[in-house]
């Protein structure tokens, strides 16, 4: 459908053929010329590499010698004989399942509080946004490592209550939770998106509901939340994909190992170590394709189910 040529500007019958083609050129060439840098990047850095990595995922490739065809070996090994793969999947899913809903809940809660016409809204909004802006930095990961260390800030606070806390980052039962807290700490950007969404809700809906005697609680469930579902949907997708891709915090906090006992071995960190630590580029490509399939399946599933719970009024 998209490739049909628009000739409407160029047709009056009897016009000579060269000027017809000139019309086609003048109508369509500028668009492609403006897109030229993007096209080079799209084919050279995106489509080409995606297809290449699909091919590499069926090979053994160490970067020094040519790839050797391996058939399904990489995928078979992944699902039948690789405890680290299983561990990294588990860690990543726990991270996604806890960090995303909690982050969104905080974001929505604070946005609702701020949206009540609070004085100083812009100051609060800026303060809550700051961690989102800084949080991706290695510097913050280093700070986090200190906060949850044995002699770190958290334990110093606990000590004032007479509690001797463990070293949170070197305990496999708690290390992943320090990363989840780091993710939740950055609830500022979804909060801003929720705030913008809350402002789009027409005020007369609340007026009408108040006149009918609906309580605030009821108004939230019957007006605010349904009207906000498109924003919830958007935030959930973006944050989930971001959570799957998260790399830096686990790398810094575990010193690149994913330890202790693989408890912070994010999928992306495992992939990095396979590719650039052990130069198993074929296996790492297969890992990348499994990640792509997971993200694509999640996105497709979200869009398919969205019509049952996302409210579109237009």
Partner 1 sequence: MTTDADRLTVVTTASPTRKRVISIVSHALLIIASILMLYPLLWLLAASFRPENEIFTSGISVLPSINWNLDSYVRGWNGLRVSFGQLFLNSFVISGLSVIGNVMACSLAAYAFARLEFAGRRFWFAMMLMTLMLPYQVTLIPQYVLFLNMGWVNTFLPLVVPKFLAADAFFIFLMVQFFRGIPKELDEAARMDGAGPWRIYWKIILPLSTPVLATAAIFTFIWTWDDFFGPLIYLSDLRQYTVMLGLRTFVDSTGMSDYGGMFAMSVLALVPIFAFFLFFQRLLIEGIATTGMKR
138 is an interface residue for partner 1 by CB under 8 A: yes
Judged by CB under 8 A, the chain residues 158 through 217 that form the site for partner 1 are: 159-160, 185, 189-190, 192-193, 195-197, 199-200, 203, 206-207, 210, 216
244 is an interface residue for partner 1 by CB under 8 A: yes
Min separation Cβ 263 and partner 1, Å: 19
Complex with partner 1: residue 81 or 160, whichever CB lies closer: 160
User: Which residue stretch of 13-21, 92-100, 258-266, 271-279 sits at the interface with partner 1 (rule: CB under 8 A)?
Assistant: 271-279
Min separation Cβ 281 and partner 1, Å: 5
Judged by CB under 8 A, the chain residues 41 through 60 that form the site for partner 1 are: 41-42, 44-46, 48-50, 52-53, 56
Judged by CB under 8 A, the chain residues 3 through 22 that form the site for partner 1 are: 3-6
CB within 8 Å of 74: residues ≥ 6 apart: 57, 58, 60, 282, 283, 285, 286
Judged by CB under 8 A, the chain residues 288 through 307 that form the site for partner 1 are: 288-289, 291-292, 295-296, 299
Min separation Cβ 67 and partner 1, Å: 10
> Binding residue for partner 1 (CB under 8 A) from 23, 101, 226, 230?
230
Min separation Cβ 145 and partner 1, Å: 8
Complex with partner 1: residue 14 or 217, whichever CB lies closer: 217
Judged by CB under 8 A, the chain residues 115 through 134 that form the site for partner 1 are: 115-118, 120-121, 124-131, 133-134
Min separation Cβ 129 and partner 1, Å: 6
């Amino acid at each position: 459908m998209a490739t049909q040529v628009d000739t409407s500007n160029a047709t009056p019958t009897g016009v000579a053929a060269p000027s017809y083609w000139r019309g086609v050129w003048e109508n369509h060439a500028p668009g492609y010329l403006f897109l030229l840098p993007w096209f080079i990047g799209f084919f050279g850095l995106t489509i080409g590499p995606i297809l290449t990595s699909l091919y590499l995922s069926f090979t053994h490739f160490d970067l020094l010698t040519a790839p050797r065809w391996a058939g399904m070996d990489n995928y078979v090994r992944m699902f039948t004989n690789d405890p680290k793969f299983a561990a990294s999947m588990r860690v990543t899913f726990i991270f996604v399942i806890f960090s995303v809903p909690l982050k969104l809940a905080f974001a929505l809660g604070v946005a609702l509080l701020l949206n009540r016409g609070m004085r100083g809204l812009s100051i609060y909004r800026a303060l809550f946004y700051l961690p989102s802006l800084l949080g991706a930095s290695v510097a913050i990961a280093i700070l986090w490592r200190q906060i949850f260390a044995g002699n770190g800030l958290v334990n110093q606070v606990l000590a004032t209550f007479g509690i001797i806390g463990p070293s949170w980052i070197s305990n496999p039962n708690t290390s992943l939770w320090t990363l989840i807290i780091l993710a939740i700490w950055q609830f500022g950007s979804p909060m801003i998106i929720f705030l913008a969404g809350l402002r789009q809700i027409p005020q007369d809906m609340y007026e009408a509901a108040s006149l009918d005697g609906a309580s605030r609680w009821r108004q939230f469930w019957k007006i605010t939340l349904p009207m906000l579902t498109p924003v919830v949907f958007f935030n959930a997708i973006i944050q989930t994909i971001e959570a799957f891709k998260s790399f830096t915090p686990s790398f810094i906090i575990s010193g690149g190992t994913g330890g202790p006992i693989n408890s912070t071995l994010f999928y992306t960190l495992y992939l990095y170590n396979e590719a650039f630590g052990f130069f198993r580029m074929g296996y790492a490509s297969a890992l990348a394709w499994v990640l792509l399939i997971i993200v694509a399946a999640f996105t497709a599933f979200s869009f398919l189910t969205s019509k049952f719970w996302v409210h579109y009024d237009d």
